[in-house]
Structure 1
Amino acid sequence: MAAERPSKGRTKHTSPTASIRYMDGSTRDVPLAQLRLRDFSESEPWRRVRSIHGMKHYSGDYASATTGGQVVYESRLELARLLLADFDPSVCRIFAQPCRMVTRIDGRVRSHVPDFLLVMRSGTVRVVNVKPASRLQDPTVIQALAWPGELIERHGWEYEIWSGAAPTLLENVRFLAGYRHPGVLPDDEVERAWRKIVDGEEMAVAERRLAGNRKPEEARPALMALLWAGRLTTDLTSRPLSGESVLRRRG
């Protein structure tokens, strides 16, 4: 893709624009009204996240099972939202810092880089901004998050401001994430467990039956992989995963 020079000054922006950065080093400005998912093909995050000793923010790269690659994040809260997106079977694509939005409001040019863009299997697109709940009472933060949401929803995409989830849910999903990548367990072992699972039985019962002559905990990884994949479900919100967790088959 040929590089397009971004405007040196922001005074030229008279209509909402999304600037997208690509892996080949080029940058493209797209009128927001014309923005499509295909514009993000072979794109990269608008900012390159770097971890520096002494930084107050916790940033890094997350190895996503959904994308099959690394997704950047700039805080622990962003990592939590990213983890839940990776766990959500309805999400099929994840873009971090997908673009820089620029528009003119009350005579002033404003810019904003959303945290994530999620693409659902249904075709729905959701733009997500992550912000601690403690900062959502700040008038400056409210204004900074409001105008991007108005533009995104006017475009026909969903807009989400995310400030956290139930701690128990996050801890359970973090644990299951250890089983998120294909190949962590042999496929035949996971499939054998899937065939033998009885809908509605407790995890401890399933482990004992699947283990046979082995220790019950040796059967646990296959159940964790099935839970991460969404083929099994259980209550992850109100209680930690345990032998009393009731397993349900899905699909």
Structure 2
Amino acid sequence: MAERSKSSGRRTRKVPTASIRYEDAAVREVPVRQLRLADFAESTPWRDVRSVHGMTHYSGKYSSATTGGHVVYESRLELARLLLADFDPVVRGIFAQPCRLAARVGDRVRHHVPDFLLVMRSETVRVVNVKPADRLQDPKIVEALAWPGELFRQHGWEYEVWSGADRVLLENVRFLAAYRRPGVVCEAEVERAWEEVVDGEELVLAERRLAGDRLPEEARPALMALLWSGRLTTDLSRPLSGESVLRRCA
């Protein structure tokens, strides 16, 4: 790994670069064509995220099951994309504001901070920018998002501009996220539910059978934890209900 420095200074850009900030406050500048996942180890978000009364945007820190720590976001739309990434079983790593790009675009040097960098279990890397759909009608916004995408695609990484998802899907994932943290539901209860759940069974029937002499809703948390983890699936394009059909995935 190249030596880290506090600042790279101002100079003429001959090649596109990515500046990465680390926990010790050092900043490392790497040519985009040389970027590797290892460069993001022990990195921190490029910007400090604060929530202050009167701010026009909604920012905060999300406790991620995927990373085991907090991931920052700067809008409700970013939080929605973050929730979906945390829920996605193929995502194994999430970095918010992973770097600051600098590149000569046309006759001037441009800068850009992507919203998220997602690492897939296949080792594929996807860079994500989140932008409301109505703002994508602005040619300046489209152009500002296009050149970073071209850089990352040339590097062999995926690039995504995300503007939202189905409302019902998001509501279901938000509900299931309450069961994402280890220890929220007794692990023994989760494993017992996994052993006894029947593929193709409706949720209401599974709850009644697993509860035994207890109230049916007492069996629900273990099933919700299995849905969050991806060991069980159901059609999340429809509101979760007793009629939701459970499918085993492992």
Give the TM bin, normalised by the shorter chain.
Answer: over 0.9
1:18 maps to 18
Amino acid of the residue matched to residue 242 of structure 1? S
Confirm or deny that 1:94 pairs with 2:94: yes
1:140 maps to 140
Q: How does 1:199-238 map to 2 (within 5 A)?
A: 199-237=199-237
Question: Shift in Å at residue 14 of structure 1?
Answer: 1.7
Question: Shift in Å at residue 3 of structure 1?
Answer: 4.1
1:41 maps to 41
Q: Is the 8 A contact 2:8 2:29 kept in 1?
A: no
CA distance in 2, matches of 1:54, 1:2: 41
CA distance in 1, matches of 2:12, 2:120: 34
1:125 maps to 125
> Secondary structure of the equivalent of 1:136?
helix
2:7 maps to 6
Amino acid of the residue matched to residue 203 of structure 1? L
Question: Shift in Å at residue 5 of structure 1?
Answer: 3.7
Amino acid of the residue matched to residue 241 of structure 1? L
Amino acid of the residue matched to residue 6 of structure 1? S
User: 1:207-233 CA deviation, whole Å, 9 max, x = no partner?
Assistant: 000000000000000000000000000
1:246 maps to 245
Question: Shift in Å at residue 107 of structure 1?
Answer: 2.0
Of all paired residues, the percent bearing the same amino acid is 72
Amino acid of the residue matched to residue 52 of structure 1? V
TM-score normalised according to structure 2 size: 0.98
CA distance in 2, matches of 1:5, 1:229: 40
2:162 maps to 162
Question: Shift in Å at residue 185 of structure 1?
Answer: 1.2
> Secondary structure of the equivalent of 1:123?
coil
Question: Shift in Å at residue 8 of structure 1?
Answer: 3.8
Unpaired stretches in structure 2, ≥5 consecutive residues: none
Q: Is the 8 A contact 1:3 1:28 kept in 2?
A: yes
Q: Is the 8 A contact 1:3 1:25 kept in 2?
A: no
Q: Is the 8 A contact 2:66 2:94 kept in 1?
A: yes
CA distance in 1, matches of 2:192, 2:179: 16
CA distance in 1, matches of 2:34, 2:180: 36
> Secondary structure of the equivalent of 2:29?
strand
1:54 maps to 54
CA distance in 2, matches of 1:133, 1:220: 36
Q: Is the 8 A contact 2:118 2:126 kept in 1?
A: yes
Question: Shift in Å at residue 4 of structure 1?
Answer: 1.1
CA distance in 1, matches of 2:50, 2:201: 46
> Secondary structure of the equivalent of 1:118?
strand
1:109 maps to 109
CA distance in 2, matches of 1:79, 1:212: 38
Amino acid of the residue matched to residue 85 of structure 2? A
Q: Is the 8 A contact 1:132 1:164 kept in 2?
A: yes
CA distance in 2, matches of 1:32, 1:188: 47
Question: Shift in Å at residue 106 of structure 1?
Answer: 1.4
Q: Is the 8 A contact 2:6 2:25 kept in 1?
A: no
Question: Shift in Å at residue 247 of structure 1?
Answer: 0.3
